[in-house]
Structure 1
């Protein structure tokens, strides 16, 4: 019988199949698709003040509620949609976060219409390549970095909300702008190779 793989020591992950699958297959994989980057940024905004596992468990409900995170559709959401979302127990019901998600779809489209691809905008902060962390343990992983603060300011300047430096850094880790799998984690090296 083989022993389980060594993973990052996230609180609450051990033995949770959904959380382990997210860690093993998604977290830290470099994401180059603009729409997927935007979806994950919106979800990280909804996470503010909550544990990521809460959002992960509600992700499919979020996708259903937000039209598959199609920015064209979300940008057209009006008062009836806001009321529908606030009544949806499957998602995090917050007027401010819902308004921010709708506004961010409009910002995303405004950038696109101005010739700015969201993926290129994001990856420009790391010169197009993931930053390779070399963290020995989860206690060595910072909550934010100067680059996350810079990116936060740039996103806010575009009109995005719920994009403070801590949220932005968590998102950067999730979408592979940064490889913060600890060095003993079985995913650290494969993720590093994806960014080579």
Structure 2
């Protein structure tokens, strides 16, 4: 709407009203239970104490709600939560060499921001390309190193976790011979999968 001319000039003040709806977000779920560090004696004792002090009535819904609350309280007291810290995207192959190369890139980025010349930009791109080659080599080496540990004792969840999430998959450097690497990994796996290595 246009307000009356109250600005003591030949311009009119325009008032705009917007009806905005605040978007509600669902609360972030709590981290899962770390059952490997649970105090099961404390958990059982809490449930046993609740059972001794309470009698089940005829209302099934009330009994279910009371029991569920008791189990949750027992879990909160005896089972720690898992850590919620996010893993590094490159946690499977992160090492001191990668840390040093990342430091080099950051150093040249700061240098380019400070000078902001064509020469500093060219130097930055050369450093980035060189570091990318080093990272490809390190990733490939870590990937082959992890593949060599696969045997009948490794957990299936670890295998799927590394493969499905794409954490360790990487494009090998062009200088590597794929047939030679495939043959080497095949022989390594065959040696680990023989019947002589199975548990007695």
Q: TM-score, normalised by structure 2?
A: 0.19
Q: TM-score, normalised by structure 1?
A: 0.19
Report which structure shows greater RCO (CA 8 Å, sep ≥6).
1
